[in-house]
Structure 1
Amino acid sequence: MAAEKGLMGLLPLVVMVLVQVGYAGMNVIAKVAMNAGMQPLVLVAYRQIFATVALAPLAFYLERNTRPKITIPLLVNIFWCSLTGVTGNQVLYFIGLQLSTPTIGCALSNTLPALTFVLAVLFRQESVGIKRISGQAKVMGTICCVGGAMVLSFYHGHIIKIPESGIHVIDNAAGGAGASSSAASTAMSFLGPLLIIGSALSWAVWFVLQARVSESFPAPYTCSWLMCFMGSIQCILIAAGPNHHVAQWSLANPGALSAALYSGVVCSALGFSLTAWSIQKRGALYVSVFTPLLLVVVAVLSWAFLGEKLFMGTLIGSVFIIGGLYAVLWGKDMEEKLVAVAPLGEVDKHGDPVSTMVFNKEEQDVELQLPAAAGGGGGDGRAAGVA
């Protein structure tokens, strides 16, 4: 039984790593498609359309017996989720990606853990607890993740001499030249980076809103379907203005079709559902802290499929990102263990045990353990409170 709970506790960790791998592939495929002439707003609109179609059977069959009642207040909350997590986030990100590069886009997106942590604290979904080792681990881990992302993006160092992968299946020579030219022409412009930061802020707001929706409506597939359906209408209306010619909506190009299908099915349909489920199990901060892994995966995929070189900065930044991620997961797990063992009635609304004698004793006991259970069954208490 304990082993089973441990495996279930690890499941959100595995799920979020897979989600980041999916997003990493989208960054490469979407940039190639936009370099070939696909408009970013059209790509965002198609992404939501394909996601809505892909999620419909999952929402109907998997949750037909467990789905709570859909109410008007719930639909209003999901509308705000779609406006922030779908429309605002993706429109701002893809336009910013077109005006910059995938590296800059990934780097600035890694402000997400810091933004989510601040918002989660303001909305009382997380407690700082800076005087405790668990709170210090969360704060320092978040800073370490963001700092590692910046190092990985903007510091190269010398090239690490490793053999080529030999599986360069994507010919991005023209796309790379185009990206370099585009980046050079907009080097003095702050529009692209500002749009990407705005995208990260919109995404952070969605994390906080989705955490509240998941508490009252624990049906991630249905919630994601409604969100993508509303988002598709919003994105079509936004894209139709500057892209009113039929030719601009053509998917005859294999690259455009692949980008639309991949981003819609993998990144929106599966990505939103799995992320919503993980938020329901472990909270908004837990999920957002996986975002810096995107840079590590993009670096590996770029080496494997695009033939790019790996630099010392990539290695150093990756170490900081993994270390920071581990620290946050360990801090979250420690907090949940402390709350779980606190006597009934001695936990305040922020999840902090009131009894300092019991709290300090348990914290000392936890500190003596090896931090190998960072992704362990700490989410069971939260999941039980939601499901």
Structure 2
Amino acid sequence: MGLKAAVPFVGMVMAECAQVGLMILSKAAMSDGMTNFIFVLYSNALASLILLPSSFFLHRSERPPLTFPILCGFFLLGLFGWLAQIFGYAGINLSSATLGTAMLNLIPGLTFILAVAFRLTSPLDFAYSLNLISMNYDELLMMEKLDWRSSSALVKSTGTIVSVAGAFIVCYYKGPPLLMAPSTSKLPHELLSQQQNWIIGGLLLAVDCVMASAWLIIQALILKKYPAGLIVVFFYCFTVTILSTIVCLFMERDPGAWSLKPTVRWIAVVYSGVFGSAFQVGVSTWCLHKTGPVFVAMFKPLGIVIAAAVSIICLRDTLYLGSLVGATVIVIGFYSVMWGKAKEEKVGVDYGVRSSESSSQKVPLLQSHAEET
């Protein structure tokens, strides 16, 4: 492997480490008393400050106009992203960073389900009314195809079902502990409360994945109309900051909840703003552009291993059999969905090449000769 080929590999490993670090630090901060609402507010406010100068500077010569429909699209993007973060951090606080990382692998399958639902029910009329979609309807429906006669559709559907089954396993079956840090023994009622929190945390993480999947679809629709990616990310973080501020002013009446002390709170906020948003999104986007979505997606299950190791060492979490079995099932479903997507894209490319060749063959002989001369 040459140096040039190794750069995307190293970049994706670093991006996954950054994602796991965000989950672990956020859990540590919330375990210390910081609420998920305050954490989302501070981290997105910092990310907005970082992205404001860089996004407008990089897109200064090719910045599309900001119209009212585009701003409405930014609000929808921020709303779904805010809900995803609120549910996600609440779920991690009640369960573990390992479970949160494992559940992230549900997103490709859930995105497939939502995209197919858009094909069947046409809930995008609202987006059309806001003029968010510049494509015609046939182009929009190409977002996801569900042709039961093709093997790729069957594999994607099966992979989605397998992923959801794995999510049920990690939520409802804990099993015996496999690896655990030394700690004091717990009373029976504490163990029961921990089991209930684990199930609730898993359900909250499942809602987080649904919101994140919807967020991805909305983002794709907006980028078709407004291709300045960094500006879209800035307005997303800024919208999340505004929504978090409004909610926190009503819900967080205790002045101590707004404090960044002890140290773990501000470290988590700074890490989230710098590495959780700017670095991770930037590296993933660059690797996506250089290598394609399948290469980027291949590294998602790596986060489960990293999260499990760091959680046991740093947070004294316990690795249970249910988490291992469920995560394995989710990863199998994840790779099935991604394989189906890769095969679908290959078929599309081959079809495009054949169509191009067929069109060139249909050019009249005299016209072809005239073009050559």
Structure 2 length as normaliser, TM-score?
0.71
Q: Distance in 1 between the 2:190 and 2:348 partners?
A: 53
Return the index of the structure with the highest Cα Rg: 2
1:335 aligns with 2:354: no
In the other structure, the counterpart of 2:86 is 91
Bigger drift between 180-189 and 44-53 goes to 180-189
Matches within 5 A, 1:1-387: 11=8, 18-85=14-81, 87-102=82-97, 105-106=100-101, 110-123=105-118, 124=141, 125-151=143-169, 154-156=173-175, 159=178, 181=190, 184=193, 187=196, 192-273=201-282, 294-306=303-315, 316-317=325-326, 319-343=328-352
Q: Distance in 2 between the 1:261 and 1:109 partners?
A: 22
Q: Could you tell me how far 1:270 is from its partner in structure 2?
A: 3.4
What's the secondary structure of 1:159's corresponding residue? strand
Alpha-carbon displacement from aligned partner over 1:296-336 (angstroms, at most 9, x marks no partner): 43213224434556566565555444443333333222211
In the other structure, the counterpart of 2:365 is none
1:214–1:276: 8 Å Cα contact kept in structure 2?
no
Alpha-carbon displacement from aligned partner over 1:245-292 (angstroms, at most 9, x marks no partner): 433211131100011111222223334455667788999999889766
Percentage of matched positions with identical amino acids: 29
Q: Could you tell me how far 1:218 is from its partner in structure 2?
A: 2.4
Q: Distance in 1 between the 2:106 and 2:320 partners?
A: 22
Distance 1:264 1:182, change over 3 A: farther
Q: Could you tell me how far 1:80 is from its partner in structure 2?
A: 0.6
1:211–1:284: 8 Å Cα contact kept in structure 2?
no
Q: Cα RMSD between the aligned structures?
A: 4.2
Q: Distance in 2 between the 1:331 and 1:198 partners?
A: 24
Structure 1 length as normaliser, TM-score?
0.68
1:45–1:236: 8 Å Cα contact kept in structure 2?
yes
Alpha-carbon displacement from aligned partner over 1:40-66 (angstroms, at most 9, x marks no partner): 211111011111112223313433334
Q: Distance in 2 between the 1:309 and 1:185 partners?
A: 12
What residue identity is the alignment partner of 2:83? G
What's the secondary structure of 2:196's corresponding residue? coil
Distance 1:336 1:292, change over 3 A: same
Q: Could you tell me how far 1:191 is from its partner in structure 2?
A: 5.9
Q: Distance in 1 between the 2:70 and 2:295 partners?
A: 24
Q: Distance in 2 between the 1:286 and 1:227 partners?
A: 26
Equivalences, count = 329
Unaligned runs of 5+ in 1: 348-387
Q: Distance in 2 between the 1:157 and 1:100 partners?
A: 16
Q: Distance in 2 between the 1:22 and 1:88 partners?
A: 21
Q: Distance in 2 between the 1:150 and 1:17 partners?
A: 28
Alpha-carbon displacement from aligned partner over 1:171-200 (angstroms, at most 9, x marks no partner): x979x98xx959717828976555433332
2:102–2:327: 8 Å Cα contact kept in structure 1?
no
What residue identity is the alignment partner of 1:94? Y
What's the secondary structure of 2:178's corresponding residue? coil
Instruction: Identify, as 1 or 2, the structure richer in helix.
Output: 2
Alpha-carbon displacement from aligned partner over 1:91-118 (angstroms, at most 9, x marks no partner): 2223344445545555555543332111
